[in-house]
Structure 1
Amino acid sequence: MNKSPAANVRAGAETGARDGRTGDQPPLALRAIEALSTIFGVLAAVMILASVLITCHMIFMRGVMGVSTIWQTEAVIYLMIGATLLGLPYVQKLRGHVGVDLLPQMLPPLGRRILAVLVMLATIAMTGAMLWYGWEMFHLAWARGWKSESVWAFPLWITYLSVPLGFGLYLLQLLADLWFAAFGAPQALPEPHPERSPD
């Protein structure tokens, strides 16, 4: 599994220190962004665990106790939506999103750096649009007091908040990765997978 850009830069910094070079340590702001991504990755995992426990509770109440449930189904849906969106920056930090590495395999290091920067810029533009429209939807749900149409009547602004929050955190991680791609050590660049044959 590939290391995160910060881990690769730290590895490069250690190598540079042994060689008498300094200055390879990533800026504090970028390390703070990666720490923030990790925190929300843990939060997303907790939300998934909570949804599993709520599902088990719902099955027990319906199957064993023979009573109807009111809030469990909605809670699981909202938790999974939140976990998916809030987990975006952590998955990006680990380079866990689906990608095609055929072209990077064919490029030299400079070409891979340029390609990584272009891909990051395009992704940042898309994420910025999602953040903008996600904030509009959240504000609309907040201002109009939208609630779910179920008996539970859950305030929908809480769910809509996960859209701008998740994409905002994702945007921060993308900006950090853009810095690593543009100015980081060669170790910070995405590496083609040597175990995969282009044939």
Structure 2
Amino acid sequence: MTDPALSDADPILVRMIRSVSELCGVIAALMILASVFITCQMIFVRLILKSSTFWQTEAVIYLVIAATLLGLCYVQRLRGHVGVDLVPGLMPAGARRILALFVLALTLLMAGVMIYYGFDTFHLAWSRNWKSESVWAFPLWIPYMTVPLGFALFFLQLSADLYMTVIGRDNPLAASMVPDVLPQKGDS
């Protein structure tokens, strides 16, 4: 199976992780939408009402960062992360599978490091009651929390992808996912 779509034949835990990733995609989209509305409100207040704004810019920044981090698992679910497919396209199927396992394991390691250090930063902000230096004085533990949370969700989706690749039911670098890079017979 190379299609990242839900399948009733997939293990329930994998389907649950994929569903959580889908939900995160919706939440991330709503955060982006909210940031657009806040930006429009900020423009209205500044240009039409000739008043100052004090929280909007910071809120938009935090929302976009949170949407990016919470959307990691959804993008992984759709196989939307940037990848170089020239080398896998030249490899035989078995080698593509080994490469996929290596890449997934390495990405899991990187996500684990981000969870660890992201949680450390979140915990410091929480325990020391850090606030932004703006007039709004927003508690920084809230945006900092999105780093370990986003990467933990990403870690879950990567784990599901790795499991499906190990059992041979999926391969992120399968031939159907890689464009043809060699000319076919009869092509001039």
What TM-score does the superposition give when structure 2 sets the normalisation length? 0.90
Equivalenced residue count is 181
Alpha-carbon separation, structure 2, partners of 1:195 and 1:184 = 21
Counterpart of 2:40 in structure 1 is 56
State the SS of the aligned residue for 2:51. coil
Mapped pair 1:112 → 2:96: yes
Identity of aligned residues (%): 55
Q: Residue 132 of structure 1 is aligned with which of 116, 125, 138?
A: 116
Displacement after TM superposition at 1:33 (Å): 0.4
Q: Residue 50 of structure 2 is aligned with which of 61, 66, 72?
A: 66
Q: 1:126 to 1:50 in 2, by over 3 A?
A: same
Displacement after TM superposition at 1:191 (Å): 3.0
Q: Which has the larger helix fraction?
A: 1
Structure 1: 5+ residue runs without aligned partners? 14-24
Alpha-carbon displacement from aligned partner over 1:148-175 (angstroms, at most 9, x marks no partner): 1111110000000000000000000000
Mapped pair 1:190 → 2:165: no
Structure 2: 5+ residue runs without aligned partners? 184-188
Counterpart of 2:141 in structure 1 is 157
**Which amino acid is the alignment partner of residue 163 of structure 1?**
V
Q: 1:142 to 1:97 in 2, by over 3 A?
A: same
**Which amino acid is the alignment partner of residue 55 of structure 1?**
T
CA RMSD of aligned residues (A): 1.7
Alpha-carbon displacement from aligned partner over 1:114-161 (angstroms, at most 9, x marks no partner): 110000011111110000000000000000000011111100000000
What TM-score does the superposition give when structure 1 sets the normalisation length? 0.86
Alpha-carbon displacement from aligned partner over 1:75-121 (angstroms, at most 9, x marks no partner): 00000010000000000000000000111111222111111000001
Counterpart of 2:186 in structure 1 is none
Alpha-carbon separation, structure 2, partners of 1:197 and 1:150 = 52
Q: 1:189 to 1:68 in 2, by over 3 A?
A: closer
Off by >2 Å, runs of 4+ in structure 1: 187-199
